Chain A
């Protein structure tokens, strides 16, 4: 089972929920950090035996001697990543979306598939938990292919928890796609609710079961609870606001350390999700 922890708004506690959930389940859990622009899981669960491998994406490589300057690739490319200008073929690798069209269309066999580094895949261990994360190279714009590679690295695992990036556009969709359940973390503020609604729309587009965790539950008002009731969305857990939790978080420590009474609730969360997924597939 793959559970994605997501939220429209940033800073609502995605990483807190993902890490504490993984720790509560413990053995046999794989935790994926798919917030590749700003990966944070390693700050709370420091990985041991860390292995790093580059993650690459396909880009064309040109054999200038074989190129007949016909311009077919240049015409096909919607992204100007390969452009013929006055008999000179220019490649702009960071514009390339890796569609492979140029290689397919070249009549002279002058283009082959090469690769370009997007970032790094990091695999490590924290106690009984396997940690897999992606880290986008700074200055690189395209995170979705990197997110997909991170998810591929966890294929075949029993229980996978995905820490998704914030928002509702392509990187988040890439993180949620193909997972079994989405846990939406929100806070009871106007921003929290607004962004929760957007996230709910996004999950509904993908059509998977989902539920809500309210973080800092007593810090705002009851609008998120009212919204969930109106929409018939299950609230799986509420985490109270506590200055102590904020201070523990600031130091890179877990919520269950600050509030040991929450450990049981996190343990129960997985069972609730499992039940919801089974209801959904029946």
Chain B
């Protein structure tokens, strides 16, 4: 199974990024082999508006079935759930630890956006 996690750097052992739309980058992880690859988010970091929307689009295009992140606003939430992607929050530590927590069933799937949209 392929899932994504927001990370503060292009490293599986880097701390996970609690932001979604303006996350430093996304790591796409194969949960069986724990092999990973980086999907950049640089364009979104300085986007005038709509970072969450564009990041949502990026994640949908990776073909992942779940995303582990900290905060997900309503617009990104709409896009991710629209594409059938699970939004998983509450993870702690590095991106690798977040994926391990997910595999161990310690994390919960969000049923709604957990932060307000940033409006810009």
Residues of A whose CB lies within 8 Å of any CB of B are: 78-81, 83, 85-86, 88, 90, 92, 94-95, 141
Complex alpha-carbon distance, A88 and B81, angstroms: 12
> What string of 1s and 0s marks CB contacts (under 8 Å) between B62-105 and chain A?
00000000000001001100110000000000000000000000
Tell me which residues across on chain B come within 8 A of A90, comparing CB atoms.
53, 78-79, 82
> Is A83's CB under 8 angstroms from B120's CB?
no
Count of interface residues, chain B, beta-carbon cutoff 8 Å: 17
Of the residues B48, B57, B120, contact of A85 by C-beta under 8 Å: B57
* Known A86-B60, A94-B119: A80·B54 in contact at CB below 8 Å: yes
State A111–B50 Cα separation when bound (angstroms): 20
List of B residues within 8 angstroms of A92 by Cβ: 50, 53, 75
Min distance, Cβ B86 to any Cβ of chain A, angstroms: 15
Known: A83-B50, A85-B79, A88-B83. 10 other contacts (CB 8 A): A79-B49, A80-B47, A80-B49, A80-B50, A80-B53, A83-B53, A85-B61, A90-B82, A95-B50, A95-B53
User: In this complex, what residue of A is CB-closest to B63?
Assistant: A86
Residues of B within 8 A of A79 (CB): 48-50
Most chain A C-beta atoms within 10 Å of own C-beta, residue among B47, B48, B79, B120: B79
Residue of chain B at shortest CB distance from A81: B50
Please report the C-alpha to C-alpha distance between residue A183 and residue B56 in the assembled complex, in whole angstroms.
47
A residues less than 8 Å from B49 (CB atoms): 79-80, 95
B59, closest chain A residue (CB): A85
Contacts of A95 in B (CB 8 A): 49-50, 53, 75
Provide 18 A-B residue pairs closer than 8 Å at the C-beta atoms, listed in order of the A residue. A79-B48, A79-B50, A80-B47, A80-B49, A80-B50, A80-B54, A83-B53, A83-B54, A83-B57, A85-B56, A85-B83, A86-B61, A90-B53, A90-B82, A92-B50, A95-B50, A95-B53, A141-B119
In the complex, what residue of chain A is closest to B120 when comparing beta carbons? A141
Chain B stretch 22-73: residues in CB contact (< 8 A) with chain A: 47-50, 53-54, 56-57, 60-61
User: In the bound complex, how far is the Cα of B56 from the Cα of A88, in angstroms?
Assistant: 13
Which A residues lie within 8 Å of B60 (CB)?
85-86
Inter-chain CA distance A94–B75, complex, in Å, is 11
**Complex contacts, A141 vs chain B, CB 8 Å:** 119-120
Residue of B nearest to A77 (CB): B50
Query: Are B79 and A83 touching (Cβ within 8 A)?
Result: yes
A79 to B49, CA, bound (A): 6
**Cβ of A144 to closest chain B Cβ, rounded Å:** 15
Closest to A94 in B: B119
A80-B55 Cα distance, complex, nearest whole Å = 11
The residue in chain A whose Cβ has the minimal distance to the Cβ of B75 is A92
- A95-B56 Cα distance, complex, nearest whole Å: 16
Task: List B contacts of A83 (CB < 8 A).
Answer: 50, 53-54, 57, 79
What A residues does B82 contact at CB under 8 A? 85, 88, 90
The answer for the CA separation of A88 and B78 in the assembled complex, in Å, is: 11
Chain A residues whose CB sits within 8 angstroms of the CB of B47 once the complex forms: 80
Chain B residues near A81 (CB, 8 Å)?
50
Chain A residues closer than 8 Å to B53, beta-carbon distance: 80, 83, 90, 92, 95
Residues of B within 8 A of A78 (CB): 48
Question: Which of B48, B57, B60, B120 is the most central at the interface, judged by chain A CB atoms within 10 Å of its CB?
Answer: B57
Residues of A within 8 A of B54 (CB): 80, 83
* Docked CA distance A95–B50 (Å): 8
A67 to B44, CA, bound (A): 27
Q: Determine the residue in chain A with the shortest Cβ distance to B84.
A: A86
- Assembly CA distance A92 to B60 (angstroms): 18
